[in-house]
Amino acid sequence: MLLQGLKVVEMSTWIAAPGAAMIMGEWGADVIKVESAEGDAIRRFYPDTEEIPGNPIFSMENRGKRGVVLNTGSPAGRAALIQILKGADIFVTNIRPGALARARLDYDSLKDELPHLIYASVSGFGLVGEEIDLPAFDLTGFWTRSGIAAATIPPDVEPFTCRPGFGDHVTALATLSGVLAALHERHSTGKGRLVEASLIRAGVYALGWDASIHLRYGEATTAQPRSQRPSAIAGYFRTSDDRYICVAPRGLTCFPAVMHAIGLDWVLAEPRYQIPIGDLDVVRELRGHVDAAFAKLTLAQAKQLLADADVISAPMATLDEVTIDPQARDAGCFVVTPDRFGGAFEAPATPIRFPGLEIEPRRPAPDLGEHTREVLLEAGVPADQAEALAGGAGL
């Protein structure tokens, strides 16, 4: 496996940091999840019992890991974590910086004792500034604070939230890329380093097209009401079966291609419809003809006609559809995940495939503290101390 031999210790909750660690585990690393006796909050979203096995949210972010419970606020619990970290390559955490500093588990407190360790910090707003200890979810740090919501939601629409975990998974991939770069560097230097990821920075990068234009020219490009958009053929169109297809023109040749595909060849001979059209009233007039043409087609017909015309488009798929979509299946979007009771269920796969290398979850998401004794003994903690820590909910 790609990362076989690497040991990752993850002390975090919710999604972004656990998600980064999960991918490393799926790629072969030994990932140890450290939790408090209360456990990761997302354990409580769905039951994980023999009758209803496989909490899908917790499993999505934590499949393949081993689980340890430690009270890192106690001297014994902190010492046990340090002992585990001595044999680890990577530490991933999204505990807030202030709390880590108070527990002496921040990077500055550990770097001299553990110089080999790659320390990945995942936070809402980074490690510098007055707001580094503000709590954050991707809804606030990634979607709202970074500018994505304002750029995405048209001004005539009531603000809406991103879907749960949307920005967290982008941040998880950013964290993973930073960890792998630091790992490559360590091959030559022998030294670890601090890797800093944040929801707000990942959000600004995800919005990079708009943000770069604004930084260079001062323009704030945002989503506009459909009536204000300058292209008559870009965006979503409703079909006769009450579905939507998205059209994304990529050049001047797309306009005649779309007109021909949807039976509006006559438009090409009309002088006022010659592109580019500078008059928004004319754009709206033409868009009315385009809307009417798509309204005569089923979604399947529109998709095929646009594909035959080599115009970029996609049907607006529901989850019911995408989970049985043959192309999504062929692209490897789903994976079978074991549960803790001998069964299995499908889940989203990690986003990268390595052709010729079969990568699947090797074990289910751990029960709370399931591997505490095992991991402590492996780390060299004396048996009596390991037993006391395991039996006392991490002390």
Mean pLDDT value across residues 73-87: 96
pLDDT computed for residue 211 by the predictor:
95
Report pLDDT digits (tens) over 277-335: 989 999 999 999 999 999 999 999 999 999 999 999 999 999 999 999 999 999 999 99
Q: Is the pLDDT of residue 378 over 80?
A: yes
pLDDT of residue 215: 95
Beta strands 344-348 and 90-93 are unpaired
88: helix, strand or coil:
coil
Examine the pLDDT at 68 and tell me if it is beyond 90.
Answer: yes
**Segment 208-252, tens digit of pLDDT:** 999 999 999 998 878 888 988 999 999 999 999 999 999 999 998
C-alpha 233/C-alpha 286 separation (Å) is 9
**What is the rounded CA–CA span in Å between residue 135 and residue 123?**
8
Q: 122-170: per-residue pLDDT in tens?
A: 999 999 999 999 999 999 999 999 999 999 999 889 999 999 999 999 9
User: For the segment 332-367, what is each residue's pLDDT rounded down to a tens digit?
Assistant: 999 999 999 999 999 999 999 999 998 888 899 999
- Kindly list the domain boundaries of the chain, sorted by start residue: 7-208+332-391, 230-318
| Domain over 7-208+332-391 is classified CATH 3.30.429.10 | no
Query: How many H-runs (helices) and E-runs (strands) does the chain carry?
Result: 16, 11
| Cα-Cα end-to-end distance for the chain | 35
Q: Measured between alpha carbons, how far is 235 from 229 in angstroms, rounded to an integer?
A: 9
**Quick one: pLDDT at residue 221?**
77
Q: Which residues pair with 10 in a beta bridge?
A: 33, 92
Q: Is the pLDDT of residue 395 over 70?
A: no
Q: Tell me the pLDDT of the chain averaged across its residues.
A: 95
pLDDT of residue 116: 97
The pLDDT-based confidence of 258 (bands split at 50, 70, 90) is very high
**Whether residue 82 has pLDDT greater than 70:** yes
Does the pLDDT of residue 393 top 70, yes or no? no
CB-CB contact of 172 with 23 (8 Å): yes
- Is the pTM higher than 0.85? The answer reads yes
Q: What would be the CATH architecture of the domain defined by 230-318?
A: 2-Layer Sandwich (3.30)
State the Rg of the chain over Cα: 26
Sequence-distant contacts of 71-78: CB under 8 A, at least 24 apart: 71/36, 71/37, 71/393, 71/394, 71/395, 72/11, 72/34, 72/36, 72/103, 72/105, 72/394, 73/103, 74/395, 76/385, 76/388, 76/389, 76/395, 77/389, 77/394, 77/395, 78/103, 78/104, 78/105
User: In percent, how much of the chain has pLDDT > 90?
Assistant: 92
